[in-house]
Amino acid sequence: MTWYGPVRVAYVHVDEPSAPKGLGDESKRYKLVMMVPKEEAEAIGHLNAAYQAAVNEGVAKLWKGKMPPKLDSCVRDGDATDNPDFKGFLLVSVKSKYRPQVFDPNRRICTVPGFVYSGCYAWVRIAFLPFDVAGNKGVMGVFNDVMFARDGERFGGMGTTEDQIRDLPFTGLQPTGPAGFGQQDAAPGIGGAPAGFGRQGAAPGFGAAPA
């Protein structure tokens, strides 16, 4: 798992799980969408490296040594939506069967409902994983933890629905991760964070987990 951020988040369901329209309780997941600015070359490079590693793992272990002709992906192009809020962003959808831990900016566990909301900025601890389920092959994004970074304008009445994001075109990330990615150190501190976008290991001040 790697901490990424701070990024603006949308379609946030970290307090209660949500299921796509028309599906039952067994499909409910905790989830959110990370909005990554396209001009953030270093950030995109980190995502490229992590995503390509998952693709390589899928080819080696799940997809019989071949790249699938159609790859289902958790990364979409925000410019392909009708929503102006998503223009200029890559949209990274992440989910979890289990309720993620939510932390405040002081790295304390927070149980206040709605503390992390659609439109705020947050650090998100994610991983990319390949899958092959019922003939569908692709790369999913999963997450364990979210740490609130700062307030942002709340989203409301979005033109693009959460389900429609799944049908947007995949961006075709390339493996261009910069040197130094994957350092086993803490994520940058909130406020005055360095240029590095994704760092592996614990969030700032966490150690294994906060007390």
The residue ranking higher by pLDDT, 177 or 95, is 95
Lowest mean pLDDT among 81-85, 102-106, 112-116, 165-169: 165-169
H helices within 9-168, ranges in order? 41-61, 162-165
The residue ranking higher by pLDDT, 24 or 127, is 127
Instruction: Report whether pLDDT(36) > 70.
Output: yes
Q: How confident is the model at residue 27 (pLDDT cuts 50, 70, 90)?
A: confident
The residue ranking higher by pLDDT, 175 or 39, is 39
pLDDT at 172: 45
The residue ranking higher by pLDDT, 159 or 120, is 120
pLDDT at 131: 96
pLDDT at 23: 79
* 33-47 average pLDDT score: 91
Instruction: Report whether pLDDT(130) > 80.
Output: yes
* 40-52 average pLDDT score: 90
* 101-123 average pLDDT score: 94
Instruction: Report whether pLDDT(121) > 70.
Output: yes
Instruction: Report whether pLDDT(135) > 90.
Output: no
* 6-13 average pLDDT score: 96
The fraction of the chain above a pLDDT of 90, given in percent, is 58
CB-based contacts of 137: which residues, under 8 Å, 6+ apart? 58, 62, 63, 68, 70, 71, 72, 130, 131
pLDDT digits (tens, 9 = 90+) for 151-180: 999 997 544 445 544 454 444 443 233 232
Q: Strand, coil or helix: what is 18?
A: strand
Q: Strand, coil or helix: what is 193?
A: coil
pLDDT at 157: 53
101-103 and 198-200 as β-strands: parallel, antiparallel, unpaired? unpaired
Contact 133, 165 (CB under 8 A): no
Cα separation, 161 vs 81, in Å, equals: 10
pLDDT at 193: 30
Instruction: Report whether pLDDT(17) > 70.
Output: yes
